[in-house]
Amino acid sequence: MNQDSRVYVAGHRGLVGSAIWRELQRQGFRNLIGRTHQELDLTDTPAVARFYEKEKPEYVFVAAAKVGGILANQQQPAEFLFENLAIQNNIIHGAWLAGVKKLLFLGSSCIYPKLAPQPLKEEYLLTGPLEPTNEWYAVAKIAGIKMCQAFRRQYGCDFISAMPTNMYGPGDNYDLQTSHVLPALIRKFHEAKTSGAPKVTCWGTGLPLREFLYSDDLAAACVFLMQNYSEEQFINVGSGADVSIRELAGQVRRIVGFSGEIVWDPSKPDGTPRKLMDSSRLFALGWKPRVDLETGMRLAYTDFLGRLSQAPK
Ligand SMILES: NC(=O)c1ccc[n+]([C@@H]2O[C@H](COP(=O)([O-])OP(=O)(O)OC[C@H]3O[C@@H](n4cnc5c(N)ncnc54)[C@H](OP(=O)(O)O)[C@@H]3O)[C@@H](O)[C@H]2O)c1
């Protein structure tokens, strides 16, 4: 891949896709190709074929997906399975037909069995039952990994897959109904501070351990893998460190400047006690994250404040 290569980022307006786009721009790539969902519905096979014919991308990042939390997965299992399969089938199959030089498919840590040992190693894939709450999404993602592997084996396509850990960063979703834990904490503490509330109640015991990676680091890892990795084995992308939700909440409280109390509600579910990826395969290639959690959370809070000030009053 060089700075004149034609690079398509599918889902370039999403959290991951926009970070990959920014990273490519930062590295001087001049021929970036993007389409919004309105411009190109990636579940539409003939439209995707026409897009490949017209744009002739040489490199493809697959960061488009129907993404959502437990509730959305439970309410729309058919869409989560069908739309994700359709999006990735069209992009991956289309890339083979169009002679794309290299493709990177993005999955997620939910592909691993619910009771897999921690930290999660790549070889634990398909060694046990999935977490039922998001199995529709996970099954589609596993099919995407297998698609890349099958096209590599049968047709020699240089298609690779990366499995990122929990991500956060600019452009995150702060809707309390659908957001992930870190943006939800940022919003809760900020609202408590501005309303002068004496306490913030957080779900569960606060004891579960989770890993977080700043979106710009994930994007840098994706570009690094596109340039340095060409194996059939998919690869984990994490920060290598986890933190308890209790510690995380304490850090967010301090960054936001909320002086009230944190109350834990143990009647709410905790989820898996620990979720940490083993990213040693990636680190052994020479890549390391640059943004530590404290710095990343400060940047995320600044982004949150910026978007609040732009929101219609
Ligand atoms: N966020 C994380 O913590 C995280 C962690 C690990 C892995 N990942 C993976 O990274 C990938 C991207 O996730 P994300 O968090 O960036 O999600 P996101 O912010 O929701 O972005 C997904 C993008 O895909 C687009 N899209 C969805 N359906 C489409 C369709 N039918 N046609 C065209 N575009 C479509 C969306 O456009 P619209 O919004 O307009 O529909 C959106 O721009 C996913 O594969 C996810 O599993 C994310």
What's the CATH code of the domain at 221?
3.40.50.720
Residue owning the nearest CA to atom 2 of ligand 1: 167
Q: Which residue has the tokens 């959690």?
A: 293
Residue owning the nearest CA to atom 17 of ligand 1: 14
Q: Is residue 26 part of a domain?
A: yes
Are 88 and 216 part of one and the same domain? yes
Tally of domains within the chain: 2
**Average pLDDT, stretch 43-47?**
98
Are 87 and 151 part of one and the same domain? yes
Q: Tens digits of per-residue pLDDT, 291-305? A: 999 999 999 999 999
- Give the structural domain span for 188: 169-209+241-276+292-306
From CA 280, how far away is CA 167, in angstroms rounded?
Answer: 18
Q: Tens digits of per-residue pLDDT, 94-135? A: 999 999 999 999 999 999 999 999 999 999 999 999 988 889
Q: Could you tell me the maximum CA-CA distance found in the chain, to the nearest angstrom? A: 62
Are 70 and 81 part of one and the same domain? yes
Report the predicted TM-score, pTM, of the whole model to 2 decimal places.
0.94
**How close is the Cα of 18 to the center of ligand 1, in Å?**
10
Q: Which residues contact 201 (CB under 8 A, 6 or more apart)?
A: 263, 264, 265
Are 74 and 130 part of one and the same domain? yes
Catalytic residue among 59, 137, 229, 301: 137
Secondary structure letter of residue 245 according to DSSP: H
Are 71 and 203 part of one and the same domain? no
Are 64 and 189 part of one and the same domain? no
**How close is the Cα of 61 to the center of ligand 1, in Å?**
12
Q: For residues 133 and 264, is the Cβ–Cβ distance under 8 A?
A: no
Are 99 and 124 part of one and the same domain? yes
**How close is the Cα of 253 to the center of ligand 1, in Å?**
28
Are 146 and 205 part of one and the same domain? no
Q: For residues 8 and 57, is the Cβ–Cβ distance under 8 A?
A: yes
From CA 41, how far away is CA 49, in angstroms rounded?
Answer: 11
Residue owning the nearest CA to atom 34 of ligand 1: 37
Q: Is residue 69 part of a domain?
A: yes
CA dihedral angle for residue 296, residue 282, residue 146, residue 164, rounded to 10 degrees = -10
Q: Which residues contact 54 (CB under 8 A, 6 or more apart)?
A: none
Catalytic, 137? Answer yes
Are 133 and 250 part of one and the same domain? no
Q: Tens digits of per-residue pLDDT, 205-215? A: 999 999 999 99
Q: Is residue 88 part of a domain?
A: yes
Q: Is residue 283 part of a domain?
A: no
The whole-number pLDDT of residue 53 equals: 97
**How close is the Cα of 309 to the center of ligand 1, in Å?**
25
Are 177 and 119 part of one and the same domain? no
The whole-number pLDDT of residue 313 equals: 60
Q: Record the tokens describing residue 57, joined without a space.
A: 């991308």
Pocket lining: 45 vs ligand 1, CB cutoff 6 Å:
no
Q: Is residue 311 part of a domain?
A: no
Q: Is residue 144 part of a domain?
A: yes
Q: Is residue 284 part of a domain?
A: no
Are 147 and 225 part of one and the same domain? yes
Are 37 and 104 part of one and the same domain? yes
Q: Is residue 282 part of a domain?
A: no
Q: Which one is predicted more confidently, 313 or 163?
A: 163
